[in-house]
Amino acid sequence: MVHHSLCIDWDKVPEWTQAIGAVIAAIGLVYTLLLQRKTLKEQQKITQLEQKKFLDSYLPILELNNINYTKDGQTRNIEFCVTIKEKCLSNLKITHNFPEDHNVEIPYFVSDVILPKEYLLSFKIHFVLSPVWIEVKEHSGFTIIFNFEDILGNKYEQYLFYMGSENLFMQSAFRK
């Protein structure tokens, strides 16, 4: 019976331990880099949320109220107010896309001054339906557009949609 003895070349052992150590170190490095990348992405997300929270704390809010709709035959009048809520605003510009047969009275204000919180803007829309026109309560496509800035100079746009009869809806402002 031949007896084989386990032969270890002790001269090569240090090379193997170095190779195994290098592989373990490489795996550890990759793992560390992946953790750092994940942490960086989480930190970026937190920073973006904090920036949004900061900017939102200066966002002026326009609120629709006091809607008064009247009909007299084919004549239609709608009066309403828009109040500046939650922060003042500046550089307000109001435009609309109503057709010429709709008389839209936009309130007078000085556009390049700071308009304070609780400032009230009164609007009137007057038009006459043609005799064959049936009044609908769906989006007419007519919009009053508010462009303004917060006190930090961030620009915003906000829409007030006229949906027919007394149906007016204010969309939330968005940063431009």
User: Quick one: 153 and 113 in the same domain?
Assistant: yes
Which residue is listed with tokens 């431009």?
176
User: Quick one: 95 and 162 in the same domain?
Assistant: yes
78-125 pLDDT per residue, tens = 999 999 988 889 999 999 999 888 899 999 888 788 888 888 899 998
Strand intervals (E) in 117-167? 120-128, 142-149, 155-162
113-148 pLDDT per residue, tens = 888 888 889 999 888 876 655 555 555 679 999 999
40-67 pLDDT per residue, tens = 898 899 888 888 887 778 888 899 999 9
In contact, 64 and 82? CB cutoff 8 Å: yes
- Is the pLDDT confidence value at 73 over 90? no
Q: Cα-flanking dihedrals φ and ψ of residue 70, to 5°?
A: -130, 150
What residues have CB less than 8 Å from 167, skipping those under 6 apart? 137
* Exposure letters 36-55 (e unless 16+ CB within 10 A, then b): eeeeeeeeeeeeeeeeeeee
User: Quick one: 80 and 26 in the same domain?
Assistant: no
- Tell me the pTM: 0.70
In contact, 142 and 119? CB cutoff 8 Å: no
Lowest mean per-residue pLDDT among 14-23, 29-38, 61-70: 14-23
**Cα–Cα distance measured from residue 109 to residue 62, given in angstroms and rounded to the nearest whole number:** 15
User: Does a structural domain hold residue 114?
Assistant: yes
User: Quick one: 88 and 113 in the same domain?
Assistant: yes
